[in-house]
Amino acid sequence: MSDNRFIKKMITSFKQDQGVLEYYHKYGWKTFARDLVHDLVGSFLFAMGVVYFADHAPFVPGGVTGMAMIIHHFTEENLPGLGIGAIINCINIPVALCCFLLLGRVFFFKSVKSLIISSIFIDYLVPHLGFYPQAADNPLLTALFGGALYGIGLALIYIPGSSTGGSDFIIMSIRKLRPHLSIGTISILVDGSVILLGGLVFKGDGSYNIDAVLYGILFTFVSTTMIDKLMYGSGSRRMLQVVSDKAQDISKGIMEEINRGATLLDVKGAYTGQTHQMLMVVCSKVEITHARRIINSVDPKAIVLLSTVDEAYGKGFLDPDSN
């Protein structure tokens, strides 16, 4: 009975979901052009990471790309016309259809568009460049630089709200069904299982190839780090929360010297029961040192909490429509 309710809820949510034409009419066709540029540049770098690094090295990255490379490893001789991009599509199409109702029309359209473009780059365009034929002889460099290109490419595709399908579809669908589950944990399980399988495929001397696993982990670590840095690092800010009886004077100094806005909140100490003011201000990494000097000069006894904000939108920060 609960399953029927869930299916009805999912279908109702899909019917209320925004259509593709409606989305681009609302945000303008410049948004479509921007998305397309992201897809083209991102797919080129993503394909470089796959074709000239990962595919020529004795290890595989995680996710559907790694699974496609394993399949390609076994079918290359018998089916030479079946490229990695085509295999990725063969895996992704049924996954995408299964997740269609959950993920919505706009995300589905963007992802299929990115998937087709990236597959064309992987199978037909990038292989003819002859970029780095020595990849198999330098697995460490391949893991580092291949992972970087792979991650930068995926980040450029992810920024407009798209994906390359595969494990992204699965992870986001599970996340939508079970919001309390950690995306990081699901990703580790999906990617880790493929990387471990790569140790069996690239045996080398006939035994389990632990090097293939370690290089695959390094490749995946570098790529995910690049994705995080590009998607969140550029908009990263520092948030100061300052509890002080001189919060008004501190905020005045910050506004005058750093030209940053601030928010004052009334707070109450749990132990003393006394009322104080808390100042909240978000600034860049460069400005944080100056802000701390102002706080220390006005009230050396102030309680200061410093934390990292992944992104800050609005006046003085990122444009809400920039991503």
Last residue of a domain, one of 233, 250, 282: 233
pLDDT given for residue 318 in this prediction: 62
CB hemisphere CA count around 36 (13 angstroms) = 6
For residue 309, with 0-12 CB atoms within 10 Å meaning exposed, 13-18 middle and 19 or more buried, which class applies? middle
Q: Please report whether residue 85 resides in a domain.
A: yes
The answer to whether the beta carbons of residues 135 and 146 sit under 8 Å apart is yes
Question: Which comes out higher in pLDDT, residue 117 or 57?
Answer: 117
With tokens 């020529």, the residue in question is: 56
Report pLDDT for 13.
47
Q: What integer best gives the mean pLDDT of the chain?
A: 81
Residue 317 resides in a domain? no
Indicate which CATH number applies to the domain containing 272.
3.30.70.120
Q: In this predicted structure, what is the pLDDT of residue 248?
A: 92
The verdict on 153 and 302 lying in the same domain is no
User: Is residue 89 scored above 60 in pLDDT?
Assistant: yes
What integer pLDDT is reported at residue 43 of this predicted model? 95
Give the separation between CA 237 and CA 159, rounded to whole angstroms. 18
Please give the DSSP secondary-structure letter assigned to residue 313.
B
Residue 86 contacts by C-beta under 8 Å, 6 or more apart in sequence?
Answer: 119, 123
Count of domains for the chain: 2
Region 281-305: what's the mean pLDDT? 88
- CA–CA separation, 147 vs 46, rounded Å? 9
pLDDT score for 12? 53
Q: Which whole number is the average pLDDT over 97-125?
A: 82
The predicted-structure confidence for 238-275, as pLDDT tens digits, reads as follows 899 999 989 999 999 998 888 888 899 999 888 888 88
Which has the closest alpha carbon to 42: 164, 152, 125, 168? 152
Among the listed ranges 74-78, 83-87, 99-103, 286-290, which one has the minimum average pLDDT value?
99-103
The span from the CA of 132 to the CA of 95, in Å, is 33
114-150 per-position pLDDT tens digit: 989 998 999 889 888 877 777 767 888 889 999 999 9
Is the confidence at residue 204, as pLDDT, over 70?
Answer: no
Q: Based on the domain organization, do 70 and 183 belong to the same domain?
A: yes
What is the 3-state secondary structure of 185-234?
HHHHHHHHHHHHHHHHHCCCCCCCCHHHHHHHHHHHHHHHHHHHHHHHHC
Q: What is the pLDDT of residues 213-244, one digit of tens each?
A: 899 999 988 988 888 778 766 567 889 999 99
* Average pLDDT for 268-285: 87
pLDDT > 90 in the chain, percent: 20
**Rounded to an integer, what distance in angstroms lies between the CA atom of residue 71 and that of residue 84?**
8
Whether 154 and 89 map to the same domain: the answer is yes
State the pLDDT at residue 295.
92
Whether residue 321 is contained in a domain is answered as no
Mark whether 264 and 193 lie in a shared domain: no
Tokens read off for 123: 């199978």
- 27 with 48, same domain? yes
180 within a domain of the structure (yes/no) = yes
Residues 241 and 210 in one domain: no
Range of the domain at 70: 2-233
Query: Is 16 found in the same domain as 142?
Result: yes
Cα 229-230-231 angle, rounded to 5 deg:
95
